[in-house]
Amino acid sequence: MAAPNKNKIFPIPNYNKLCFLKNLVKNPNIEIGDYTYYDDFENVDNFEKNIKYHFDFIGDKLIIGKFCMIASDVKFIMNGGNHLTESISAYPFAIFGNDWQNAMDGKNYPTKGDTIIGNDVWLGHNVTIMPGIKIGDGAIIATNTTVTKDVSPYSIIGGNPGKVIKKRFSEENIELLLQIKWWNWEIEKITENVQLLTSNDFEKLKQLL
């Protein structure tokens, strides 16, 4: 049983609007897991264009797990977009140099750390993810949602700002999924079990523990 080639940029023959992202992204501060794909209405090169304010000198990372599904126009706002919020002015005087160059001496712009997307996460069309957000395994983020808070595993989030609509499964089954971590199986085992992974037979899944 042969799985798709994870090292191909375009895994679907004669279709260049969907790519396995890890083979496309060049920025060392972006980490992408195997089989995570990006589907773009126009050009898959738009993915990195939609990662905003990702400046090398800040050093924050965008980390995306395995088997994620990322729709067109998903945007990640990184920490370079942050301004001072507790100072008299939020204006970034120092970046313009001249006699303003020392305006930030002894100060730092706020940072919320790396943005981390778990495994088997679906990010719908035109989702926006704010800096430092952590999205748990198996979460679904609905179209046009702005994610401003961390998302727990297997939650469905929608709205602006994003709110929990419901959990995908019972707490017992979520715990089972987080324990079994199917995305870490050898690809041969995943391939053997694709019928199970596309079902809701949790009893059969338990037998694989």
Confidence of residue 2 (pLDDT cuts 50, 70, 90): confident
In the chain, where the domains are located: 18-168, 170-209
Q: Which residues contact 115 (CB under 8 A, 6 or more apart)?
A: 60, 61, 62, 63, 76, 78, 129, 131, 132, 133, 134
Span 17-41, pLDDT tens digits: 999 999 999 999 999 999 999 999 9
The token pair at 203 is: 């009893």
Span 148-201, pLDDT tens digits: 999 999 999 999 999 999 999 999 999 999 999 999 999 999 999 999 999 999
Task: Give how far Cα 149 sits from Cα of 115, 158, 193, 196, Å.
Answer: 11, 12, 34, 32
Q: CB–CB of 115/62 below 8 Å?
A: yes
Active site residue 125: no
Question: In terms of CATH architecture, what is 18-168?
Answer: 3 Solenoid (2.160)
Active-site residue identified among 52, 83, 204, 206: 83
Q: Which residues contact 125 (CB under 8 A, 6 or more apart)?
A: 71, 72, 73, 74, 143, 144
Span 100-154, pLDDT tens digits: 999 999 998 889 999 999 999 999 999 999 999 999 999 999 999 999 999 999 9
Q: Strand 163-167 vs strand 155-158: parallel, antiparallel, or unpaired?
A: antiparallel
